[in-house]
Amino acid sequence: WYLFLPLGMVFVFCLLCIVLLWRAWRQQRRLEQFRKDFTYSMIHDMKSPLQTILMGTQMLESGRLADKPEKMEKIGQAMNDECVRLLTLSGRVVMLTEIERGELQLHPVRMAILPLFNDLVTKFRLKASKPVEFDVVCSEDLRVTADPFCLQEVLSNLVDNALKYSGKEVRIRLSAEVAAGGVLQIKVGDNGIGIPQNQQMKIFNRFERVASGSHTTGASGFGLGLNFVWQVVQLQGGTISVKSTEGSGSVFTISLPL
């Protein structure tokens, strides 16, 4: 016993070390693969806007459009849109990297929800290129402790998607209420194209896009928005879920501790 007990303990200890080392190695390999995929997808997604910008500058440089101001304006607009896309992409990647490294600093304050909704309505009414009707349901005294910039970014993303993935006439409903268990529930609902049942959890993954969705609407994107939303909501101690019916619309629900 005096000999076998310590030997057995040493054996178990070694086995434990091997298992832990193997798990760490596997985790590291998964991380490396993820980094490679991430870099590849990002560069791949940057190619198409860069090509549009390059084509635009080449056409402008050639001087062939000097007497065609309408065409020049169109090309300028397309280049501008692609620059905005690239800037949005780089902003998302910076914030996602900061979240991953634990460097994203949140500055929570006690804030009212209604002014946030009103700002979103004003911003998107100006931005929308099609008729959009907003329905806001929120009491004036409803408050939450959250980072105003991050919450604004999260809701902007959801409203932007509601606009992108819908038909010609858009109805967007923004609502907030205190639900059971003392959590604040913020909902962004739309009457858009909806999301197939089997894709509803996947859309929160990085670079995940529903092929039928982007084909139907022709909406451009990188599949990073909802992953960013999911991460920021989690960082604030909340959760996000989606209920959607194809052809009728979607409702995204954010639950935050009050």
Residues lying near ligand ADP in the complex (CB under 6 A): 161-162, 165, 190, 192-195, 203, 208-210, 213-214, 221-227, 250
Q: How far is the CB of 224 from ligand ADP (least distance, A)?
A: 6
Nearer to ligand ADP, 75 or 134 (CB): 134
| Count of beta carbons in the 10 Å neighbourhood of residue 60 | 15
Strand partners, 239: 255
| Count of beta carbons in the 10 Å neighbourhood of residue 161 | 22
Nearer to ligand ADP, 45 or 147 (CB): 45
Nearer to ligand ADP, 189 or 238 (CB): 189
Q: How far is the CB of 236 from ligand ADP (least distance, A)?
A: 18
Cβ-proximal residue to ligand ADP, closest one: 221
Long-range contacts of 107-111 (CB under 8 A, 24+ apart): 107/147, 107/148, 107/149, 108/145, 108/146, 108/147, 108/236, 109/145, 109/146, 109/147, 109/148, 110/143, 110/144, 110/145, 111/143, 111/144, 111/145, 111/146, 111/148, 111/151
Q: How far is the CB of 134 from ligand ADP (least distance, A)?
A: 15
Nearer to ligand ADP, 134 or 222 (CB): 222
| Count of beta carbons in the 10 Å neighbourhood of residue 2 | 6
Per-residue b/e over 220-244, b at no fewer than 16 CB within 10 Å? ebbbbbbbbbbbbbeebebebebeb
Nearer to ligand ADP, 155 or 203 (CB): 203
Nearer to ligand ADP, 65 or 166 (CB): 166
Q: How far is the CB of 246 from ligand ADP (least distance, A)?
A: 9
Q: How far is the CB of 226 from ligand ADP (least distance, A)?
A: 3
Q: From CA 204, how far away is CA 241, in angstroms rounded?
A: 9
Q: How far is the CB of 251 from ligand ADP (least distance, A)?
A: 9
